[in-house]
């Protein structure tokens, strides 16, 4: 099935065609309900943009998928494995098949860029140190950073370079899935556009599936095959950007139809 035809949260497809399968997800904090009965299928090889008003639970959903916070209810399957009922060895193996770039980069501030990129390589592989170093330097360059930045601390880099360093770490293990939480937030439009182009390039080179949380309409237009909009605790609308724009109601209509939406999407 091509992303253009996938306009419902649940797709009638075998596990092999689906990178991430969410069923009946609920997330609650005490009496506060963030998600309820949330279903979603993400196709292998697609970039899906996750949008929604502030507080709709985009980051909480990502944390439930990558094993950082168990959902209150529901099933999370990634690459055919149940994230929350897998044994520790299966979970560790799964962990090595996704890379995550958190909103603030989450780089270790006391480690250099190269040392940050080496962390997943040391944790998940038994490669000889020299080879790990070569791979780290390759990933730093694939993320568009000059090799001269490898020995620098995050604080010595610009905001855009720090995001690239976090991206280099996220692709260190040649993951199947890349999770990006607001990758272009805080970047000027030109730097943000370059970052989107880089993400597209990496998707092609590494054959990635990408889960991309964003508020950036340019990123939705330039980097996403489909967009899923969260509202009322669920995936309220899903499909290619043009499909969503045609059928937008409520928050989504305001989002696309507001001045920023018109400026980005015409
Ligand atoms: N550990 C927690 N304890 C209590 N409430 C939490 C916790 N983590 C998140 N929340 C709440 O869950 C809701 C969703 O948070 P989340 O960060 O996922 O939103 P978001 O859609 O990513 O928002 P934004 O677009 O502003 O980043 C928020 O109301 C937040 O306060």
Q: Is the pLDDT of residue 184 over 80?
A: yes
- Residue 246 counted as domain residue: yes
Question: In this structure, is residue 12 part of a structural domain?
Answer: no
Q: For a ligand 1 pocket test, name from 25, 59, 68, 180 the mutation site with the most ligand atoms within 8 angstroms of its C-beta.
A: 59
Pocket of ligand 1 (CB under 6 A): 29, 34, 52, 54-60
How far is residue 76's CA from residue 83's CA, in Å, rounded to a whole number? 6
Q: Which ipTM did the prediction report? A: 0.96
Residue whose Cα lies nearest atom 13 of ligand 1: it is 55
Number of domains into which the chain is organized: 1
Pick the atom of ligand 1 nearest to 62's CA.
18
Assess whether pLDDT exceeds 90 at residue 191: no
- Read off the tokens for 208: 């990635």
42 beta partners: 20
**27 phi-psi bin (left φ>0, alpha ψ -120 to 50, beta other):** beta
Does a structural domain hold residue 13?
Answer: no
- Encode pLDDT of 55-108 as tens digits: 999 999 999 999 999 999 999 999 999 999 989 999 989 999 999 999 877 899
In a domain, 92, yes or no: no
Q: What is the mean pLDDT of residues 16-30?
A: 96
pLDDT digits (tens, 9 = 90+) for 119-175: 999 999 988 899 999 999 999 999 899 999 999 999 999 888 999 999 999 999 999
Picking from 126, 54, 138, 141, the residue whose alpha carbon sits closest to that of residue 96 is 126
Of the two residues 24 and 1, the one the predictor is more confident about is 24
| Distance from C-alpha of 140 to C-alpha of 149, rounded to nearest angstrom | 8
In terms of residue numbers, what domain contains 200?
44-67+98-265
Q: Which residue would you say has higher pLDDT here, 252 or 225?
A: 225
Structure tokens at 121: 């390589």
Mean pLDDT, rounded, for 110-114: 95
The CATH number assigned to the domain holding 156 equals 3.40.50.300
Is residue 80, in this structure, part of any structural domain at all?
A: no
Ligand 1 atom 24 nearest Cα: 54
How many angstroms does the Cα of residue 27 sit away from the middle of ligand 1?
10
pLDDT at 251: 87
Residue 59 C-alpha to ligand 1 middle, in angstroms? 7
Confidence of residue 257 (pLDDT cuts 50, 70, 90): confident
């Amino acid at each position: 099935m091509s992303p253009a035809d996938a306009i419902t949260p649940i797709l009638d497809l075998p596990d092999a065609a689906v990178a991430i399968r969410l069923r009946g997800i609920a997330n609650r904090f005490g009496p506060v309900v963030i998600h309820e009965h949330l279903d979603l299928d993400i196709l292998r090889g697609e970039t899906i943009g996750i949008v929604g008003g502030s507080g709709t639970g985009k980051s909480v959903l990502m944390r439930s998928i990558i094993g950082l916070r168990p959902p209150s209810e529901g099933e999370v399957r990634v690459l055919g494995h149940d994230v929350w009922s897998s044994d520790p060895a299966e979970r560790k193996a799964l962990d090595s098949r996704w890379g995550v770039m958190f909103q603030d980069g989450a780089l270790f501030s006391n480690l250099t860029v190269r040392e940050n990129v080496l962390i997943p390589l040391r944790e998940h592989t038994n490669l000889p140190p020299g080879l790990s170093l070569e791979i780290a330097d390759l990933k730093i360059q694939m993320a568009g950073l000059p090799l001269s930045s490898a020995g620098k601390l995050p604080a010595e880099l610009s905001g855009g370079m720090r995001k690239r360093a976090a991206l280099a770490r996220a692709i260190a293990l040649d993951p199947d899935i890349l999770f990006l939480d607001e990758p272009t937030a805080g970047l000027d439009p030109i730097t943000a556009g370059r970052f989107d182009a880089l993400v597209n390039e990496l998707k092609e080179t590494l054959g990635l599936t990408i889960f991309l949380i964003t508020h950036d309409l340019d990123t939705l237009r330039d980097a996403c095959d489909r967009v899923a909009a969260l509202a009322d605790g669920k995936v309220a609308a899903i499909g290619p950007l043009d499909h969503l724009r045609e059928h937008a109601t409520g928050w989504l209509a305001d989002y696309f139809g507001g001045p920023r939406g018109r400026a980005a999407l015409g």
